[in-house]
Structure 1
C-alpha cells in the first residue's frame, strides 16, 4: 500500500494491509497514509458494493480465526466477486416475444435468460423453437433442442431429425438427446423408437465426434432390452470404439454392465 508508514504489528491489521495491497484495483485511487484509513476504505467499498452485508464481510478480527494468508485471500476473493457481480448487466426479456427470445439465444450474455423464458413458455414456444432449429447459429439450434428435450412436440420431429446430420457436433448431440431421451420429457409426446433408434445407431457407430458417439451410447442404452439393433450397436461400441469414454458408457448397458442389471431387475 503506497503511503503506509505506520508500524503494523497485529495479525489482523497485517491481514488487512496485505488484502488492501492486492485489491487496490477495485477501490478508488488515492494515497493512503495509515492502516486505519485502509481499513476504513475497504469497509466503505464493501458497503457500497453489498449494502446488506458490507459491515460484516471485512471484520478486523477475521485473522484471529484464520491464518493471515487465508484472511487475505478470502477478502480478495469476496471483493473480486462483488466487483464482477456489480458490473454484470441485468437482462430483462419480459417485454420480448418468444421469437425475439429465440434470436437472443445467439447473444452470449442473453442466452441463459432467453432459454429460461422459452422453458417457462413450454409448448407455447414450439413455433418459435421450430424456427430456431433452422437458425444459422449452432448455439441457437442447441438451445432449441434443449427446450424440445423437455417439451417435445411431434410437429418439430422433422427439424430435429434433420439436425442429427448437422455439421456442428454439439447440434448433432443435442438433437439426438432431444429425440431419444425419455427421462427429460414432460407430457405424453414421445418420438417412436422405430424411427429414432436407427438414427442413434448410425451416430454411435459412424459419427466422427466422440462426444456425439458418447451421447448416442447413453441414449441407446435404455432400449437394449427392447431393440436388437440397439443392443448390437452398444456391444459393438463397447468392444471397438476408439475412445475410452465411449467404450465406458456403452459398457454400462451391455449384459453384465451395472445399468443393464438394473434394467433386468
Structure 2
C-alpha cells in the first residue's frame, strides 16, 4: 500500500501543473540557456546572431522576386507578404523540428540537473522567440521600402484579387497573435518532445513532412492565385488552405502586419487548437513525465 501511493501521486495533473508553475518561475535559467544556445551556434562569428537576420532576408528577397514574377503579382505587395510569411513559418518550423529534439538534446541536464521538464520546453520556445525578434528586422526594412504600396487602401495581391484595407493600426493585433503562437508552441514542444523520447522515429517523420507542409501552406502563394488559375468553379481552392492548421497560425500574425483583411475565424480555429493541444499535452505529461529521464 505504501509503495502504490507515490506511484499514483507521480501520475497526477497536480504534479503536471506544479512542473509548469515551477518552470515558469525559473526565468533566469531557461532564459540564459536559450541565449547561450544562440551564442554557441554563432561562436567565433564576426556578425554572430545577425546571420539569422541576413539569411532570412536573402531567402525572402530571392523567393519574393521569383514568385512575384511567376504569379504576375506586384513586388510592392507580394514581397512583404512572402517575407512576413517566412518569418512566422520559421518560428513554427523551429518549434516543431527542435521541439521533437528538446528532451533528447538535453539528456545531460535532465539526468544531472534537478529542474522541471517545462524548463527545457521554455528554453526551446524562448530561443525561437529570440530568433523571431531578429527576423522582424527584415520585416521593418521591407515595410519601409514598400510603405506606399502596403498602405494603399483596398490594394490587391494579384489583379482581380481580394481587396485589403492596407497597413494601419490593426497591425498591433500581431502582438496577441504572436502570443497565441508562443502558447501553442509550448504544447507542441512538450507533446512532441515527450513522444520523441519514447519513439525516436518521430523526429524523422516530422522532418520528412516539412517540405510538403511548406508547399501546402499559403506562404509563397495566395488563395487569390488559386482563384486566378482555376476560376470560381474551383471550390476546393478554399479548402486547401482552410483545412491546413498552419495557415490559420500564420494568418493571425501575417494579416495585420501587412494590412490584409483580418478574419476572426482564424483566431477561433487557433483558439480551439490551443485548448485541444494543451489538453493532450497535459495528459501525456501526467502519464509519462516521470519516465522521460529514463527514456532519454
**Greater gyration radius:** 1
- TM-score (norm: length of structure 1): 0.23
- TM-score (norm: length of structure 2): 0.21
